[in-house]
């Protein structure tokens, strides 16, 4: 394998409570950062600043997090150091995060029912928006930067937020609880992952009607995370319960399901390959996108949830 153009690979070892740096070609672990509060979840790389951001969610899991965290840890990608923490208080249980317009990080603070807004330049909270739910786990932002959406898990709803106006506009009901959310590259479709059946719900962002359901082929149980490739041509859907990763094209007409490690979570696309982090057995599986087969696997930490090349 050759990860041309990558300086490094960073992974959040959620099960081990650490952040790992891996060699992008050999995949050997080169640096381990273990000075985080419990427990690091999720990951956002801001390439323009050579910085990564890691939410400190708390020592529980979604729906059972009695000691929620309140920090957003900052990692310098050049020096491979945990350089500071941003205090999100009074907002707690930070989880899903993306870079929004105006140099802001938008991050769900689950137990507070808020999306906190963090200024990248100031490393400080500069605002917050109510989501209407204490189950808002993940978020996506429309390509035009106007709309932010949160999936509200057990509430079986999606919150629609006017991001420039910093206000909750509405909540969209779904037939079942949700486990993941993605948005199409043109911003016209929300892809919601059903938490009860192995199925995707395609929701029109103008009418908020469910325009199509897509069963997941070869996936016996419900799925978890949906993520588009950077070019928008491939959608990854992982099923933690089924130990599978499903790749489908942008029309949802062709899909291939691949067996991976235990409890697959998020993935990273890079140079014709997809790297899937499996938190249940400490493995990372590499899927060749041309053949849609696992070409390689390697160990990283106790159990990584997410990873990114930089």
- Quick one: CA dihedral 17, 10, 282, 217, positive or negative? positive
Cα 245 from Cα 5, distance rounded (Å): 25
Q: Note the pLDDT of residue 3.
A: 56
Query: Which portions of the chain are predicted below pLDDT 70?
Result: 1-5
Is pTM beyond 0.85? Reply is yes
Cα 204 from Cα 4, distance rounded (Å): 37
Cα 21 from Cα 154, distance rounded (Å): 34
Q: Note the pLDDT of residue 1.
A: 45
Cα 230 from Cα 90, distance rounded (Å): 34
Fold of 21-269: Methylamine Dehydrogenase; Chain H (2.130.10)
Q: Note the pLDDT of residue 5.
A: 66
Question: How does pLDDT run across 221-234, given as a tens digit for each residue?
Answer: 999 999 999 999 99
* Residues 117 and 133: beta-carbon distance below 8 Å: no
* Residues 173 and 166: beta-carbon distance below 8 Å: no
* Residues 54 and 21: beta-carbon distance below 8 Å: no
The domain segmentation of the chain, as residue ranges, is 1-20+270-310, 21-269
């Amino acid at each position: 394998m050759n990860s041309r153009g990558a300086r490094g690979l960073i992974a959040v070892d959620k099960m081990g409570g650490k952040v790992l740096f891996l060699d992008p070609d050999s995949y050997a672990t080169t640096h381990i950062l273990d000075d985080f509060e419990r427990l690091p979840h999720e990951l956002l790389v801001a390439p323009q600043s050579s910085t990564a951001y890691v939410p400190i969610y708390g020592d529980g899991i979604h729906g059972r997090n009695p000691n929620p965290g309140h920090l957003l840890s900052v990692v310098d990608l050049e020096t491979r150091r945990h350089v500071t923490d941003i205090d999100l208080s009074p907002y707690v249980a930070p989880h899903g995060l993306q870079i929004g317009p105006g140099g802001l990080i938008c991050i769900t603070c689950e137990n507070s029912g808020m999306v906190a807004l963090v200024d990248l330049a100031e490393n400080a909270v500069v605002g917050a928006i109510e989501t209407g739910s204490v189950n808002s786990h993940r978020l996506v932002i429309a390509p035009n930067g106007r709309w932010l959406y949160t999936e509200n898990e057990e509430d079986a709803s999606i919150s629609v937020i006017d991001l420039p106006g910093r206000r909750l506009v509405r909540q969209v009901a779904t037939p079942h609880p949700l486990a993941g959310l993605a948005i199409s590259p043109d911003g016209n479709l929300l892809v919601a992952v059903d938490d009860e059946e192995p199925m995707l719900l395609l929701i029109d962002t103008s009418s908020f009607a469910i325009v199509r359901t897509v069963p997941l082929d070869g996936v016996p149980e419900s799925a978890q995370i949906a993520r588009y490739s950077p070019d928008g041509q491939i959608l990854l859907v992982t099923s933690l319960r089924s130990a599978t990763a499903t790749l489908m094209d942008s029309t949802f007409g062709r899909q291939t399901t691949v067996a991976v490690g235990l409890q697959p979570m998020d993935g990273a696309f890079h140079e014709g390959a997809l790297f899937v982090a499996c938190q249940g057995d400490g493995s990372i599986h590499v899927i060749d996108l041309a053949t849609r087969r696992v070409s390689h696997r390697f160990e990283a930490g106790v159990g990584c949830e997410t990873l990114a090349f930089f």
